[in-house]
Structure 1
Amino acid sequence: MTHRNAFLTERGRLALAQCVVDDGWPLRRAAQRFNCSPATAKKWADRYRVRGEPGMADMSSRPHHSPHRLPQRRERRIIKLRFLNRWGAARIAAHLNIARSTVEAVLRRYRMPLLRHLDEATGLPVQRPRPRRYEHDKPSDLIHVDIKKLGRIPDGGGHRKVGRTLGNRRNHQQRPGYAYLHHAVDDHSRVAYSEILSDERKETAAAFWTRANAFFNDLGVTVQRVLTDNGSCYRSKLFAEALGDITHKRTRPYRPQTNGKAERFNRTLGHEWAYAQLYTSEQQRAATYPDWLHHYNHHRPHSGIGGLTPIERLRVHNLPGSYS
């Protein structure tokens, strides 16, 4: 920031204007004295005549009219998507087909807090330390494997549709149980293979990995390492046999952030699929999962990989089998 007593700032401008207006100096002589152009001398003299000494201060350079600014209705839609869906700027920009920088400018203008500063349960701002991020260099380096336990929806809808009182009573009477979503997420590209299965036993986990490994092989990814938590199904000999020569790494106990890519995928599917709309049955929700998973891999931009989709990130490495 320029000091207010520096040459030809507030104090210098005032002296220049007073020489022209109060003392009657010609513009050219005053400009030569203060080492500026006659046009500059005239500008400050005219401003001094109209506004006096306060007119010597810097004024805002913001234009009086911005004809290319988004309509207010469009801005409100951006804020609605951010507030209700808690989407980032890249996700909103892709959804509305506008520039990400425009969305970021609108969010700043309305002083919307960053997503990492929001509490997941309440949506209220809360300051959090920024986590350390890591990423492996190649798609084949590490695959995150995890299981998401998701409550099944009873026929007719759960408490989100029929209310908590009736929904809890219906859940207790029907006992719909849980669905187990098994995931395999590539650390570098975020490509995900996932299935909704009935349990988390070792036989189920081993069979899932066999199918997941075949999926990544079809994309040209030869898996080198697999990272899981310390669940009993992952510590079994059957799962070790399914891995074969692939290196198996486990997270530290009570440190789910070590398996962060899979945990982030769980959060994404919760916001954008599992609880994104009201379902009347578990079958209805499960039927939409393959389409959502395809959208995640092929069409949804991912802010953690520069706004690319996971499949596009694979194409950066010229892997065969990357389809759209």
Structure 2
Amino acid sequence: MNMHRKTKLTLYHREEIWRLHHQEKVMITDLAKRFMVSRSTIYVVLRRARLQLFVPMSSTNERYKTIKYGIKRLAKVEKTLEDKLRWQVKKYNNSYPREMVHVETKRLPLLKNETKQQTREYLFVGIDDFSRELYVGIYNDKSQFSAAQFLQDDVLVQCPYMIECVYSDNGREYQGMLEHLFVKSCYTNRINQKFTKPACPRTNGKAERVIRTLMEMWHERELFVNAQDRKLKLKRFINYYNTVKPHKGIQGKTPYEVLDGYFKQNL
């Protein structure tokens, strides 16, 4: 059995090495084999033993030797846990429909009969934080014009009540000055905007996750004749998603069941 050459020996081992070598004249090589360490380790033990230093030398790294470091480390761990809990509370704190709608954009793959020279279409997605009700539209580009049209035609038209906040990443289709079309549309409809931290897409997790669901359950399973056929089959899937498919995040209910229960209880 081989051991690391820097394996630390116990106090008993060090004293025994010194006794065997000093009193019984055991050779260095034999001691190394017996205690399964290198010859250089035996020499170090004997040199320190002559100075009556049988125990391992203490660390010279003061950071690990002070209670101050331990307290700082514990505080750092507690701060990390606190931030995670705060995010979870914030993430699931929305308590009524349209309090926050998460939006995201996804470039769609080319269809089988399309070439790389053709313009790629974009999927715009909106999902209600409370009920998981889904709104989706397909547009020819990823522009502020398309984003504004999606908000107006695919989200607001289907909402019988006011949306308080739209949550998105920092994409140019969603963020800009007051003359920006999506920003202007939000302002006109009295909708606040909130944005994810830069380079942190996980903070818009609901939209990211529903896009993955769409691609797996709709786009990868269907055969599309053309772009128009893709849009038609998308509408059918959205109807299935909102009225038939159960969701773990809302206790196995459908988005429409959640909305129906909410309005029956609060009207």
Fold similarity call, TM over 0.5? yes
1:171 to partner: Cα distance: 3.6
User: What residue number does 2:133 align with?
Assistant: 191
Is the CA contact 1:302–1:309 (under 8 Å) kept in the aligned structure 2? yes
Superposed, 1:92-171 pairs within 5 Å as 134-135=91-92, 136-155=94-113, 171=115
- Determine helix, strand or coil for the equivalent of 1:205: helix
1:217 to partner: Cα distance: 2.8
Deviations 1:234-267 (A, max 9, x none): 1132212100221100111111111111111101
Letter in 1 for 2:146: T
Letter in 1 for 2:111: I
Letter in 2 for 1:154: K
1:140 to partner: Cα distance: 2.2
Q: 1:315 aligns with which of 248, 260, 264?
A: 260
1:178 to partner: Cα distance: 1.6
Q: 1:290 aligns with which of 235, 241, 246?
A: 235
Question: How has the CA–CA distance of structure 1 residues 319 and 247 changed in structure 2, closer, same or farther, with 3 Å as cutoff?
Answer: farther
1:151 to partner: Cα distance: 1.5
1:284 to partner: Cα distance: 3.2
Listed as ranges, the gaps of 5+ residues in structure 2 are 1-86
Listed as ranges, the gaps of 5+ residues in structure 1 are 1-130, 156-169
Aligned length: 172
- Determine helix, strand or coil for the equivalent of 2:217: helix
Establish whether residue 225 from structure 1 lines up as the match of residue 182 from structure 2: no
User: What residue number does 2:216 align with?
Assistant: 271
Letter in 2 for 1:217: C
Q: 2:149 aligns with which of 190, 207, 216?
A: 207
1:319 to partner: Cα distance: 6.6
Q: Scaled by the length of structure 2, what TM-score is found?
A: 0.59
- Determine helix, strand or coil for the equivalent of 1:264: helix
Establish whether residue 259 from structure 1 lines up as the match of residue 201 from structure 2: no
User: What residue number does 2:63 align with?
Assistant: none
The sequence identity of aligned pairs, in percent, is 31
Is the CA contact 2:135–2:155 (under 8 Å) kept in the aligned structure 1? no
Q: Aligned partners of 1:132, 1:246: CA distance in 2, in Å?
A: 24
- Determine helix, strand or coil for the equivalent of 1:266: helix
Letter in 1 for 2:213: T
User: What residue number does 2:184 align with?
Assistant: 241
Segments of 4+ moved more than 2 angstroms = 131-134, 211-218, 277-287
Letter in 1 for 2:120: Y
Deviations 1:148-193 (A, max 9, x none): 11122032xxxxxxxxxxxxxx744xx3332111111100101011
